[in-house]
Amino acid sequence: MGALFILRRGFGIMKENGPAHLLSIGTIAVAFFLFASFLLLPLNFASVLEAWEKKVQIILYLKDGIGEERIPPLTKELRMIAGISEVRYISQRAAKESFERDLAGYGGVLKGLKEGIFPASFEITVQERFRTPERIRTLAARLDTIKEVEEVQYGGVWLERLSLILYTLRWGVWVLGGVLVAIIVSVTANTVRLTLYNKRGEIEILKLVGATDAFVKLPFYLEGGLQGLVGAGGSILLLLILFHLFSCKVAPYLSFYFGQLRLSFLPPHMIAWILGIGVAAGLLGGLFSLRKAGGI
């Protein structure tokens, strides 16, 4: 039994039932387009979060009246804490100077501000592996227990919100993926069933003359698998075109609001997975319809 003949028969079957297959491939492509778009979102969102995480600093505002002699032992104590890579002391004077520098254009307004209203602080840089919302929160809680510390700031609320959205998106993708795979299996199964119905005469004859199960069934599996592959491939192509348009035409405007956006398309392994899921869902659809057809 020639593989080439089976392949030709598979394509022949698809050609004979052309409109139904086109409709089926279109539906699969739409389903995969949604799935791939939802994969793309957290992927780019994650890179934004990653960039933001790199900038994360913890600021420890010190209580009033902490003497300068406490700063070196406190600095040493902070450097000993796991997760801290750099500790920089900002005195009250340095804080006032920094404030004045930042608001230099408002010169007159700043006149008369006293050094005492700016609290001394430590700017703490966190080691890379500690730059996750959970670890930063834990570290901040620990730093808050130091008796000289008045307040700890780390922008944790935003970081946690972003992480939560990302987490929801990541899980949402798999839930959505599951639903879409079920849709794809059902669409493929119905198209293959329609083909089976149209080809029942040929199948009956093939079975009667002693064709093996593989010879009779393989073209239908092939039909399902090809539908899944072409549908998934088409969705990726469509997404790539839209992604390219978005990157060229829309992203430059968005960078005014969100800073330089570093957008990335689905990596090759993810594309391979989508194509693989397409083929597997199509094969499963073929399998279901052949099972339902029973006698075949």
Residue 219 or residue 278: which is nearer to another protein going by CB?
A: 219
Interface with another protein (CB under 8 A), residue from 211, 240, 263, 280: 211
What is the nearest approach in angstroms of another protein to the Cβ of residue 213? 8
State the binding string over 53-92 for another protein (x if CB under 8 A, else -).
Answer: ----------------------------------------
Residue type, 24: S
State the binding string over 153-192 for another protein (x if CB under 8 A, else -).
Answer: ----------------------------------------
Residue type, 231: G
Q: According to the binding rule CB under 8 A, does residue 204 interact with another protein?
A: yes
**In angstroms, rounded to a whole number, what is the distance separating the alpha carbons of residues 189 and 290?**
8
Which of these segments, 25-33, 104-112, 152-160, 198-206, binds another protein (CB under 8 A)? 198-206
Sign of CA dihedral 62, 63, 68, 72: negative
Residue 18 or residue 73: which is nearer to another protein going by CB?
A: 18
Residue 170 or residue 207: which is nearer to another protein going by CB?
A: 207
How distant, in Å, are the alpha carbons of 79, 168, 174, 178, 270 from that of 182? 54, 21, 12, 6, 19
Which of these segments, 101-109, 206-214, 254-262, 268-276, binds another protein (CB under 8 A)? 206-214
Tell me which residues in 9-28 interact with another protein (CB under 8 A). 16
Tell me if 13 sits within 8 A of 199, measured CB to CB.
yes
Residue 158 or residue 197: which is nearer to another protein going by CB?
A: 197
Task: Estimate to the nearest angstrom the gap between the alpha carbon of 106 and the chain centroid.
Answer: 43
**In angstroms, rounded to a whole number, what is the distance separating the alpha carbons of residues 44 and 19?**
37
How distant, in Å, are the alpha carbons of 32, 43, 227, 260 from that of 290? 24, 38, 16, 53
SS3 content of the chain, % helix, strand, coil (to 5): 75, 10, 15
Which of these segments, 111-119, 169-177, 196-204, 232-240, binds another protein (CB under 8 A)? 196-204
Interface with another protein (CB under 8 A), residue from 210, 249, 269, 294: 210
Interface with another protein (CB under 8 A), residue from 50, 86, 115, 213: 213
**In angstroms, rounded to a whole number, what is the distance separating the alpha carbons of residues 200 and 76?**
83
Tokens matching residue 276: 């693989």
What is the nearest approach in angstroms of another protein to the Cβ of residue 287? 17
What is the nearest approach in angstroms of another protein to the Cβ of residue 1? 5
Q: Greatest CA span in the chain, whole angstroms?
A: 104
Task: Report the interface residues with another protein, using CB under 8 A.
Answer: 1-2, 5, 16, 201-202, 204-213, 215-216
